[in-house]
């Protein structure tokens, strides 16, 4: 059995090294839809795989981090990175170029990590994220499945969230602990 939870965010990026000039040379934005699919080996005491309410905490925080934020590739010039970090409160610096494929794999890794480090207390089984689908436009999306998790070398600890993004997280200290993120670099 599979359940799905949908999230949305408005974000901006440049996807360097892609084929399309507009995409790789100009800042642009999208109205993203993120669909997260969950499976389990059993139903909980409420006969659910996972109570959707449990996704409104840490999983929603991670995806919402990208809302009205600029996704900044670490490979950009220092001048470019400093411009965004100086002139925008909401940014995320990523070790990969921010394509829909990268987002889907990155969210898959974040959600997998969150689930593995969460304590469930309603008889849940082995709850797993089976896939993450990121709609960049109404006509196109990328979907990462569990077997794809290592297609991209990405340590979630290398993703840097701006101070403003972190300050808006619900249960910030708990999420920082789950993600094992040090605030020393902020």
Place of tokens 């919402």: 64
Q: What share of the chain is helix, strand, coil (3-state, %, to 5)?
A: 35, 25, 40
Catalytically annotated residues: 23, 68, 136
List of long-range contacts for 71-75, beta carbons under 8 Å, 24+ apart: 71/11, 71/12, 71/13, 71/98, 71/103, 72/13, 72/98, 73/13, 73/14, 73/16, 73/97, 73/98, 74/158, 75/16
For residue 19, what are the contacts with CB-CB under 8 A and spacing of at least 6?
A: none
With CA atoms as reference, report the closest residue to 101 among 70, 145, 38.
145
Which residues, including other chains, have CB under 8 Å from residue 5's CB and lie 6 or more apart?
35, 36, 38, 52, 55, 59
User: Dihedral of the CA atoms 114, 116, 117, 122 (nearest 10)?
Assistant: 100
């Amino acid at each position: 059995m599979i359940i799905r939870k949908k999230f949305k965010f408005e974000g901006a990026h440049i996807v360097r090294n892609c084929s399309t000039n507009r995409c790789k040379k100009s800042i642009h934005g999208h109205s993203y839809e993120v669909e997260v699919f969950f499976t389990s080996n059993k139903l909980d005491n409420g006969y659910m795989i996972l109570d959707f309410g449990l996704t409104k905490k840490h999983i929603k925080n991670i995806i919402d981090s990208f809302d009205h934020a600029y996704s900044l590739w670490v490979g950009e010039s220092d001048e470019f990175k400093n411009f965004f970090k100086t002139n925008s409160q909401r940014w995320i610096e990523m070790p990969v170029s921010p394509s829909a494929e990268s987002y889907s794999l990155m969210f898959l890794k974040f959600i997998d990590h969150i689930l593995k480090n969460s304590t469930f207390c309603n008889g849940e089984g082995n709850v797993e994220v089976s896939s993450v689908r990121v709609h960049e436009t109404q006509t196109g999306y990328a979907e990462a499945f569990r077997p794809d998790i290592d297609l991209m070398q990405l340590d979630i600890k290398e993703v840097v969230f701006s101070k403003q993004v972190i300050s808006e997280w619900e249960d910030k200290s708990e999420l920082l602990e789950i993600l094992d993120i040090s605030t020393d670099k902020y």
